[in-house]
Amino acid sequence: MRSFSNLTFYSVPELPAQVWSASSRTRIELNLFAGQLYFDSREEYEGVCTLLALSPAHPDATCVEVDGSPFTMSKISVLKDLIAFRRKGMVCDKTQLGQVLNVRPLSEKELPRVSS
């Protein structure tokens, strides 16, 4: 199935012949706002962690600390509220995004492998 994540599936006007791609930050923000619950790659996972002021944890860690956040209000609580609203209260704790919002690091086996 064709991926919509790269934002080139359909555009008006038609994209120029040269390859265009949206910035990774733009894709991450749109995916979060759209309610995407799973990540396409480790890079996307790390980008979400960076955006939420979390550091991707050491593989052996069981919890990620959020000390030193530069924000006056946690982006995590705002995103949790948005996801809960969009999902009409349905729990998403078992999804990859749910794990991140509950400040639990994802292991390598939980992330998709990028085929080359």
Q: Is residue 4 part of a domain?
A: no
The structural domain count of the chain equals 1
- Enter the pTM of the model: 0.69
Q: Is residue 3 part of a domain?
A: no
Q: Is residue 18 part of a domain?
A: no
pLDDT less than 50: residues of the chain:
58, 68, 116
Q: Which structural domain range is residue 104 located in?
A: 24-110
| Residue 48: per-residue pLDDT | 87
Q: Is residue 115 part of a domain?
A: no
| Residue 116: per-residue pLDDT | 47
Exposed (0-12), middle (13-18) or buried (19+): which is 8, by Cβ within 10 Å? middle
Residues in the chain: 116
Q: Is residue 10 part of a domain?
A: no
